Structures are given as C-alpha cells and as structure tokens.
A and B are shown apart, each in its own frame.
Chain A
Amino acid sequence: MNDYIQFQNVTFAYEIEGEAPKPVLKDFSLNVYAGEFVAVLGHNGCGKSTVAKLCNGIELPQKGKVLVDGLDTADEEKLLTIRQRVGMVFQNPDNQIVATIVEDDVAFGPENLGVDPSEIRRRVDDALKRVDMYDFRRFEPHNLSGGQKQRVAIAGVIAMQPACIVLDEPTAMLDPRGRKDVMETVKMLNREHGITVVLITHYMDEAAQADRVVVMDHGKVLLDGTPRQVFARGETLKQAGLDVPQATALAALLQRDGLDVPADVLTVDELADAIAAAKR
C-alpha cells in the first residue's frame, strides 16, 4: 500500500506568549495509507486535533516533516494543492458553513479553486446526492439538524474532489441519529469512492468501525493496529484514559467469570453471537 500522509518525527508545541512552549507532539511518526480508513483515538489534550491541523498545513511542525502525497506541507506554493487533496471537517458544523444556502456552501470550495461554473454545478449536485442531502439543496443551513449540517460540510469537502478527508471529532456535537448518519456517510465514501479517511474521535464504537485504530497518548502513538488488536489491550487503553467499546468490556468480564467468549468482540451483535455459541 502507498503512503498518503506521512508524519516524519514531528515535534510540535503551541507557543503561548509569556509561557514556556507546551509540547503537544514529541517525535511523532505515523503513515496513513492511500484508501484506508484510520481512526485516531485519544483522550482530551493528547494532541489528536493537532494531528488534523498538521495534515493540510494549517499548522506546521517545528521539527520533522509532514508529507501529503509526497508534497511537504511546509512548501507554501503547494498549500492549495495539498488543501484540495486533503479535505477537513470540524466538530462544530455551524462554524464551517459559509453561505446562506446549502448548495452555495457546497460550491464554496470549487469556486475558490477556480473551477468552471458548469463543472461546479455538476460537482455540487453530485456531492449533495452522495451525502443524501440533494433534496435540501435550497434550504438555509440554520433550518437543518446538526447531523444534516455536518453532511453538508462533508459535501462541501467532497465537491473539491479530495483524495483524503480528515474529520476532527465530527460527531461530538450531534445526537445519536446524526452520529449514525454521519458515520454511514463517512464509511460509504471510504468503501465506495476509495477516499482515504482519517477519523479523529473519542468514541470507541466509531473507532471500532475503522480498518485501523491509532491510539495516542501524551503526543505519541501508544497502540496501532486493527480494532480487534487494539481493543484486546483493555489495560493499556485504561492507562491512556480510554475505555474499550461496551461490548468488548462486557466480553472481558464474562471471560473473567469463566464464560468461553473471545476477548476481541467489537459490536453488540458479535457479542450476542459469541454468547449464544458459548452457551450451546
């Protein structure tokens, strides 16, 4: 597999005037492969949002390099290309929608790239259909629910035709229904359209849906592997201030009490099947 985003020994600290710089990332290395769906997990303040901002040159590392498709984010001339290729979705949908009408907002990115008007129209319609918001194209954003607004924000990113989307806790402000819709949309973009997805989250059940989970702690990679491999390490996760998905936690308790269930179940359905099998 090809590397799409490479973090090479990145050190990053926010500089606050009058205070010693507080390092957020220390000698951080991570490769995101083209076409994969990777979830970045970590408790608050572990540096995971900084990882997002480094992906498209919003912030630059003090030491080390960030490469996107081989392009260095420190190269100012390449920034527009990098930002077109790596789209970004943030936590609060209200603070990333620019226009007063849904379709105008989706058109914002391509308009900035100087795309031909008829081509923008085609991309906007296509992007809105993909996130299932086409029927709302003439709505005003403040009349939409949080989940719908977040899907509009995702449409705005895919209208720029990126190879990769980085989502920084996109579901943190949504209700369960909105969370589910957004996750379905993200998974569909990854599976059906081959878009590389970096999902930064603190929800275990969302991370469990990824191909690969990276757990961060104190600015470093603590665990890196498939969801099964990572969530089987319950103790290490607890030390990093994280939980395992509820189904996995319950499986571990049942196992301790002598029931023959595997420790690496991720979903409620899997657990139910495992218990049924063990009881048979």
Chain B
Amino acid sequence: MISDITIGQYYGGSSAVHRLDPRVKIILTTLFIVIIFLCKNFLSLAAMFVLTAASILISRVPFRMFFKSLKPILPIILLTAVLNIFYIKKGTVLWSFWIVTITTGGLATAFFMAVRIICLIMCSSLLTYTTTPTDLTDAIERLLSPLKVLHIQVHTLAMMMTLALRFIPTLIEEIERITNAQKARGADFESGGFLQRVKAMLPVLIPLFVSAFRRAYELSFAMTCRCYHGGEGRTRMKQMRVHAADFVALALFAVVMAGVIVLNHFFGKMI
C-alpha cells in the first residue's frame, strides 16, 4: 500500500537528458517555466509544446509516466478550463442560455491555459524522472552556494533534504510495522467517519514520532563519529562538470526563448 510511493520518482536511463548536468537541468526547467508564462499567442505556445515533446522523446521516458504525473493535476486543469470558458466573453457567441454564454475567445483561452499547465507539469516531471534525488539536492546545494555570502546555511539545508530523502522509506516501513502492531491489538483504521479515522491514526503517529526522535538522536551520534562538522572544509567525491552537451541544451533553450519573444511581438497578443 503506502510503500508504493516512489520518492523523487526517478526513472533510470542513460539518454542525453539523463546525462545532462543536474544544475543545468534545474536552470533549464526554471527558464522553461518563465518562458511559458511569457507566451502570449498560440504560435509561441506551439513552440514551447514542441520543445517539451522533443525533450520527452529524447529522454526515452515512456509517455505513460507523464500521464501518471498529470493525473493528480487533472481536476485543476479542468477547473481552470471551465472557469475560462464561462468567464471570458470575447469573439463570437457560440451558445447562450440564461446567464451562461460561451464564446470562441473563452474556448481558445481555456485551451491555451490547459496546454500551458500540461507543458509545465510535463517539464518539471521530466526533471525529476531523469535526475536522482541525490543529484537534485547536490545540484541545489551547488547552485545556491553563492547565498553563503548572505550567511544562509546552504549546506545545512541540503544536508537536511538528503537526510529527509534517506529516511522516507525507513519511516514508511515503520508506519507499516506500527499499523500492523496496533491492528493486532484490535485497532480499527477502516470504519467510522473522517474524524474517527483521524483519531484512530493517533496510536500510529505517537510511536512514529517517538521513534523518529530516537533515530535522529542516534543518527547525530553516528554523524559526529564520522567527523561531520558542517560544510566547512568538506569535499565531495562526485564532482559536477559542465560538458559540451550542457552548452548545446542551454543554447537551444536560449534560441526558443528568443523565438517566443519574437513570435509574441509579431503575431499579436491573445492572452
């Protein structure tokens, strides 16, 4: 049941996308999100859609994985689409009844928004599908390292993320063990209303917290024993190097970004 949760949802592979420097991938994804909000008409959106589709094809991550990540967002996509259809009154009226009016402008906007959200989700999923959680935290630490100047503890934050990732499977196992132990003593997790079920979870949560604190205590001992003393003077076994492919990807995104701005400028604003 709960052990099905995949953390970081990494989908192994050795494609060009997988092999990109994780830092570059984070920068590209951020760029992508910025550009997709700059899109003002269907042509520029189409350019972004092609970029998304091409990246997915190159990554060789199967499409069903992306459908899986879209599923939980589907209600939000539908809701925004419906709201746009009903609220935007532009262009020709297609259908009108009482206070409800559907226009071509409304339909177009609804479609535009839906595609925008889908591209957004697909692109950020692509980042997590092709990068291991460890690489992601490492890359975040390295990207944010200039913030050290502002006395922000970048290393500590990254270490906390790594430890959280490390202990998620361990704590899930623990939840299952405690749940089974409480079931064996006659605890009932399935019946009753919402409030009752929440209450039934307390005998699971309390031992879980107690044990999590004990683990934290032991882990800090173990880390001290292994000479951990913060980020000062610490080296890393795995170095990150930017390769030619990373520059190609960056250049490609820059071109698309320029293209979007040009298309926005010459073909009018729709949104």
Contact = CB atoms under 8 A, between A and B. Distances in A.
B209 interface: no
Given A104-B237, A111-B237, A117-B235, A58 B225 contact: yes
A47 interface: no
A117 B241 CA distance: 13
Given A90-B218, A95-B219, A100-B162, A107 B237 contact: yes
A194 B50 CA distance: 62
Interface residues of B, number: 29
B222 A140 contact: no
Contact of B226 (A53, A100, A121, A160): A160
Contacts of B259: none
Contacts of A260: none
B222 A109 contact: no
B128 to A, nearest CB: 14
A101 B134 contact: yes
Interface in A84-120: 84, 87-88, 90, 92, 94-101, 103-104, 107-117, 120
B133 A114 contact: no
Contacts of B162: 98-100
A83 interface: yes
Most chain B beta-carbon neighbours within 10 Å: one of A58, A90, A94, A157: A94
B238 interface: yes
Contact of A111 (B221, B224, B235): B235
Contacts of A98: 162-163, 166, 219, 222-223, 226
A80 B227 contact: yes
Contacts of B235: 110-111, 114-117, 120
Interface in B98-134: 132-134
Given A88-B225, A94-B170, A140-B169, A99 B134 contact: yes
Interface string A160-200: 10000000000000000000000000000000000000000
A95 B213 CA distance: 11
Interface in B196-254: 215, 218-219, 221-229, 233-239
A104 B238 contact: yes
A117 B225 CA distance: 21
B56 interface: no
Contacts of B218: 90, 92, 95-96
Given A88-B225, A108-B228, A94 B215 contact: yes
A56 interface: yes
A141 interface: yes
Interface of A: 53, 56, 58, 80, 83-84, 87-88, 90, 92, 94-101, 103-104, 107-117, 120-121, 124, 140-142, 156-157, 160
8 contacts: A83-B226, A83-B227, A95-B215, A96-B222, A99-B162, A100-B162, A100-B165, A117-B239
Interface of B: 132-134, 162-163, 165-166, 169-170, 173, 215, 218-219, 221-229, 233-239
Which 4 pairs, one residue from A and one from B, show the smallest C-beta to C-beta distance? A96-B222, A107-B237, A95-B218, A142-B169
Given A95-B215, A112-B227, A113-B227, 12 more contacts: A53-B221, A58-B221, A58-B224, A83-B225, A84-B227, A90-B222, A94-B170, A98-B219, A108-B226, A110-B235, A114-B234, A160-B227
